[in-house]
Amino acid sequence: MAEHESLEFGKADFVLLDNVSMEEFMANLKLRFEKGRIYTYIGEVVVSVNPYRAMNIYGRDTVEQYKGRELYERPPHLFAIADAAYKAMKRRNKDTCIVISGESGAGKTEASKYIMQYIAAITNPNQRAEVERVKNMLLKSNCVLEAFGNAKTNRNDNSSRFGKYMDINFDFKGDPIGGHISNYLLEKVKMHFICFFFLFFLYLLTQLLRGAPDSLLRSLHIQKDPAAYNYIKVGGHIKVGLINPLRHKHLAKYASVADAMKVIGFTGDEIQTVYKILAAILHLGNLTFGVDGDVTLIENTKLVSVLRELLSTKEENVEKALLYRTVATGRDVIEKQHTEQEASYGRDALAKAMYERLFCWIVGRINDIIEVKNYDARVHGKNTVIGVLDIYGFEIFQNNSFEQFCINYCNEKLQQLFIQLVLKQEQEEYQREGIPWKHIDYFNNQIIVDLVEQQHKGIFSVLDEACMNVGKVTDEVFLQGLNGKLAKHAHYTSRKLSPTDKNLEFDRDFRIRHYAGDVVYSVVGFIDKNKDTLFQDFKRLLYNSSNTVLKAMWPEGKLSITEVTKRPLTAATLFKNSMISLVENLACKEPYYVRCIKPNDVKSPLLFEIERCRHQVEYLGLLENVRVRRAGFAYRQTYPRFLQRYKMISEFTWPNHDLPSDREAVKKLMQGCGFDHDAAYGKTKVFIRTPRTLFSLEEQRAEMVQRIVLFLQKVWRGTIARMRYRRMRAALVILQAYRRYKVKSYIREVNRRFKNVRSMKDYGRHVKWPTPPKVLRNFLFVCLDVFPSRWWAWTLIKGLSPEETLQVRAKVACLEALKGQRADLGLQRAWEGNYLVSRGKRDSPDTAASFTLVSSELQRKDKFMRVLFSSNVRKINRFHKAEDRAVLITDRHLYKMDPLKQYKPMKSIPLYNVTGLSVSPGKDQLVVFHTKDSRDLVVCLQGMVPANESRIGELEIAFFSIYWRCSALSVTQVIFCSYNYRCL
């Protein structure tokens, strides 16, 4: 069942028509054609209407849409029927065939090519070289056979003048491994008419040889002017309508044919022989005969030499075969000279026979190359087959000849098989499923088949009898024989049997009432075309050729003149036997059908001629096929497939059912929809009686699908959002883990580097900090602030005594307060402050005791609390005179003393009178004490040991302490500066 297209394109399957009638059938066919839908189903039959234009529906993307799909899953297409045949062959290991039928110009050849291309496209997924080679040869064989067996006619640009059946062999994996081609009835018509179709290829040869090397032209003795050859012109001029298009369109085609022959495996000698035979046929057409008295002569004897060269034989033998006929009467051999008319007849018969033998040889040569070789079923598995039959169609002309009679008989034979197989398939399916079968009346054309092929009574038998009669037998005698034996047959008549029928000519015409309609045939030429009219002399001539390829085409030429042989089978008998064999071959395969329809005779892509198409529908039996298919039930499908398509309609089956079987689930679904009365339930399939039920199911399905799609969109969008969230969350977790990893790695590295800093001499001051990750940059600044600045300093000072700690703090405060104003502050040594006591004991023990007594006396007198600073100095007066002195600074006074007089105080200045302190930045330790009365004291600090030690820092710190008491310093400065007072 095809996928249900929109009703604007009509019904995709004719089985779904509301009323099975010719009017509805044609209306649906016309609608689909006008909408560009050239394919329609009748169950498993494809009806194809020639679109007369290129359509983009055969590309690789279309192949993928139909690959592995069931028929009903996609819109109707050739690919669907090809895939169904391939699946049946591969899955069920069963031979199948695709029968393509229709009249000339309906698109049968193109359909067969598309089917071959599809099979080639879906096979060999592993790209095995040997399989690719076989596929390529099978496709190229079409090109070669078309070139030699098809022709451009007024009715068709690529008309097949022969019937072709190709078997494609597949291995157990479903890959093509070879094939075989059978051809039927290559059309041989009168040589003196332009409709000698196969010679169009010869004209193509002459056109293409214009670009060939001169050596090749000379070897074939062909001129570049096609008008020089009688066989491809009429009345002295080229038939423009049929020939001229070859100049443009078919140049590329010829190149592809030459390439195809090489790809298939034709050798260079074989291709050269083909050219020679074609050239010889062209030259034969130019042979003319004359009469000299009673003697018949060849007028253009130069052509005899050309034919001798092309046919690789002797010149005298060629001339003798053309002018004489050898007749054996008992033991005597007589050479009978031809009349001019007989010579012309023999020449044309030879040309036709040479082309026919060439075509048959090409088919045989292709078969030799592509047939399966060395295939052992026990090793390689069963060899399965898909057959493709492209056969000429039933046609009615003004003057229907012997060939058309054979063609129409072939179509009757195939139509009989078609109806029988379709009817048989339907009956078998109903029986298999246990559904009662309703008898269908149909036209059984077996009576027409018997009329043609029945032993002793059929038309072929009468024709053969007439050909075997001794004496002069004419076509009129043959017609009399038909009238005598078939006078009472319901489907045969002639003018003698129907004297009042003026559509028939006396002694010429007879009429057969075919399945597709009445056809009048002219008996003119029946006898000659049925007999083997080629003289034995020509057969011996070509058999004796030194060209082995040409020799092999004429094996019967080896018989001697006097050798008695059986009368050869007639053309009618050969064709009848081939048709019987073909039908037997098709009957043992599972058939699939493509029925091709020609919409008009003017090759228009827009015109649809109702009456013409109606006639084709009738003779193809399409309406009868619909009736057979609709025998009780319009639609049937397996339970799983039916549920897969419609299960969303019922709550009992969506999304999955819990019933005992799919059959019960389908029953429940149909009951829920109210269609149980219109359905029957087989063993594996459900049968629906009317199309309306199916359309109602489709409408409900379409409505539910829309809701399901919205639901799925909602669920999927939520799923996508959750997936996106999970991805973001995962990324965040990964990022966090990575950051933790980087932080931990950094801290581990810091721990590794600074693990033993306590035992290092500089406590790790030389250790370089690792580069931190971005997140730890602030952490690094904190760490650098803690270590080495704080931890390292704390480590250095933690072992100091309280007095040393205070001194360190004082030094730090001094360094911070002076902010680099002095280079030497005495920071590298211990600060003693009261140098006249501590240093005096070592430098001058005598004076140290004196200073101690004096300072104690001053303390009692002035009530100061602590000595802040004392030191020997050099005093500079205003006259620039220097004298040794000493200074003592307490928390109340500044004393100037004379060290030479046991440190006798010389001057006492209260500290509140000291307004400031100035020191020099150099190493001279010059100090100026500024006072309110402007009597500044200028001294240079000095010590006994070492001579250059600096005491400025201690002095400044002392004064800082003094000024803090006078609110001259900030609290912060005092905290770090005062070490003599325990301000902390």
CATH code of the domain made up of 803-964: 2.30.29.30
Contact 526, 475 (CB under 8 A): yes
Rounded to an integer, what distance in angstroms lies between the CA atom of residue 694 and that of residue 675? 10
Q: Count Cβ atoms below 10 Å from residue 396 Cβ, excluding itself.
A: 16
What pLDDT score does 241 carry? 41
How large is the average pLDDT for residues 502-506?
A: 84
Task: For 513-545, give one letter per residue: b (16+ CB within 10 A) or e.
Answer: bbbbeebbbbbbebbebbbbebbbbbbbbbbbb
Band of the pLDDT at 731, cuts 50, 70, 90? very high
Q: At 916, phi and psi to the nearest 5? A: -175, 175
Does 102 count as an annotated binding residue? yes
**953, two tokens:** 């820092």
Respond yes or no on whether the N-terminal peptide bond of residue 946 is cis (omega within 30° of 0): yes
What pLDDT score does 207 carry? 47
Does 109 count as an annotated binding residue? yes
Tell whether the torsion through CA atoms of 555, 557, 561 and 564 is positive or negative.
Answer: positive
pLDDT in tens, 13-35: 888 887 888 899 999 999 999 98
The region of weakest confidence among 67-71, 896-900, 928-932 is: 67-71
pLDDT at residue 195 greater than cutoff 50: no
pLDDT at residue 768 greater than cutoff 80: yes
User: Taking the complete model, does pTM exceed 0.95, yes or no?
Assistant: no
Q: Tell me the HSE value of 895 on the side-chain side, using a 13 A CA sphere.
A: 28
Rounded to an integer, what distance in angstroms lies between the CA atom of residue 356 and that of residue 542? 14
Side chain identity at 681, as an amino acid letter? Y
Angle at 710 between CA 727 and CA 641, to 5 degrees: 105
CA distances from 446 to 414, 415, 420, 710 (A): 11, 10, 10, 58
Respond yes or no on whether the N-terminal peptide bond of residue 910 is cis (omega within 30° of 0): no
Give which of 229, 224, 236 is closest to 287, Cα–Cα: 229
Rg (Cα) of the chain, in Å, rounded?
A: 60
pLDDT in tens, 670-722: 888 888 888 888 888 888 877 778 778 888 888 888 888 899 899 999 999 99
Side chain identity at 407, as an amino acid letter? I
Rounded to an integer, what distance in angstroms lies between the CA atom of residue 393 and that of residue 404? 9
Within the chain, what is the greatest distance between any pair of CA atoms? 188
The region of weakest confidence among 222-231, 305-314, 733-742, 774-783 is: 222-231
Contact 198, 360 (CB under 8 A): no
Does 916 count as an annotated binding residue? no
Contact 329, 336 (CB under 8 A): no
Contact 679, 689 (CB under 8 A): yes
Rounded to an integer, what distance in angstroms lies between the CA atom of residue 208 and that of residue 246? 10
Does 10 count as an annotated binding residue? no
Domain with CATH 2.30.29.30 in the chain: 803-964
What pLDDT score does 504 carry? 85
Q: At 83, phi and psi to the nearest 5? A: -70, -35
Band of the pLDDT at 197, cuts 50, 70, 90? very low
Does 104 count as an annotated binding residue? yes
Which one is predicted more confidently, 796 or 280?
A: 280
How large is the average pLDDT for residues 377-397?
A: 71
Chain centre to alpha carbon of residue 214: 46
pLDDT in tens, 857-916: 888 888 888 888 888 888 888 788 888 888 898 888 899 998 888 888 998 989 888 888
Give which of 919, 893, 917 is closest to 905, Cα–Cα: 893
Does 106 count as an annotated binding residue? yes
pLDDT at residue 772 greater than cutoff 80: yes
Give the residue carrying structure tokens 């370089």. Answer: 768
Q: In what order do the strands lie in the sheet with 635-638?
A: 635-638, 685-688, 679-681
pLDDT in tens, 482-496: 888 888 888 888 888
Share of the chain above pLDDT 90, in %: 5
Band of the pLDDT at 638, cuts 50, 70, 90? confident
What pLDDT score does 717 carry? 94
What pLDDT score does 145 carry? 76
CATH topology of domain 635-718: Alpha-Beta Plaits (3.30.70)
What pLDDT score does 393 carry? 64
How large is the average pLDDT for residues 528-540?
A: 79
Does 280 count as an annotated binding residue? no
pLDDT at residue 308 greater than cutoff 70: yes
pLDDT at residue 735 greater than cutoff 60: yes
Residue ranges in 371-401 assigned as alpha helix (H): 377-380
Does 438 count as an annotated binding residue? no
What pLDDT score does 724 carry? 94
Give which of 152, 263, 267, 258 is closest to 209, Cα–Cα: 258
Which residues touch 773 (CB under 8 Å, ≥6 apart)? Answer: 739, 742, 743, 746
Contact 402, 530 (CB under 8 A): yes
Rounded to an integer, what distance in angstroms lies between the CA atom of residue 104 and that of residue 310? 35
DSSP 8-state symbol, 50 = -
Band of the pLDDT at 179, cuts 50, 70, 90? confident
Q: Tell me the HSE value of 504 on the side-chain side, using a 13 A CA sphere.
A: 23
SS3 40: strand
Band of the pLDDT at 380, cuts 50, 70, 90? low
Mean residue pLDDT of the chain comes to 78
Rounded to an integer, what distance in angstroms lies between the CA atom of residue 528 and that of residue 551? 26
Band of the pLDDT at 214, cuts 50, 70, 90? low
Domain with CATH 3.30.70.1590 in the chain: 635-718
What pLDDT score does 474 carry? 82
pLDDT at residue 157 greater than cutoff 50: yes
Contact 667, 681 (CB under 8 A): yes
**387, two tokens:** 């057959």
Rounded to an integer, what distance in angstroms lies between the CA atom of residue 519 and that of residue 505? 14
pLDDT at residue 747 greater than cutoff 60: yes
SS3 838: helix
Rounded to an integer, what distance in angstroms lies between the CA atom of residue 299 and that of residue 296? 9
Residue ranges in 265-382 assigned as alpha helix (H): 268-285, 302-311, 315-323, 340-370, 377-380
How large is the average pLDDT for residues 102-128?
A: 83
Q: At 791, phi and psi to the nearest 5? A: -60, -45
Contact 456, 464 (CB under 8 A): no
What pLDDT score does 713 carry? 93
